[in-house]
Amino acid sequence: MHLRRCLECGHIGCCDSSPNKHATKHFHATAHPVIQSFEPGEDWRWCYPDNLMG
C-alpha cells in the first residue's frame, strides 16, 4: 500500500493497488483533481481529470 495526498485539502488516502482505493474514492466524492505521492523519496503528482502525471 502506498499513500497519496490531495493537493487541495491534504486528505491522505491509499493508492489504487490497495483494496479500498481511498485516494480515487476521495476524488470521486470531492472532485479535487490532483494528488501527489506521500511516500518518502517520491516527487510526482497525478491529475485525475486529465490522466496525466507531472
Average pLDDT for 31-36? 98
Q: Evaluate if residue 1 carries a pLDDT over 90.
A: no
Q: Evaluate if residue 31 carries a pLDDT over 90.
A: yes
Q: Evaluate if residue 13 carries a pLDDT over 90.
A: yes
CA distances from 26 to 34, 41, 54 (A): 11, 23, 20
Average pLDDT for 25-40? 98
Average pLDDT for 6-25? 96
Specify the pLDDT at position 16: 94
Query: Which cell is 20 given?
Result: 479500498
Question: pTM higher than 0.85, yes or no?
Answer: yes
CA pair distance 40, 52, nearest whole angstrom = 21
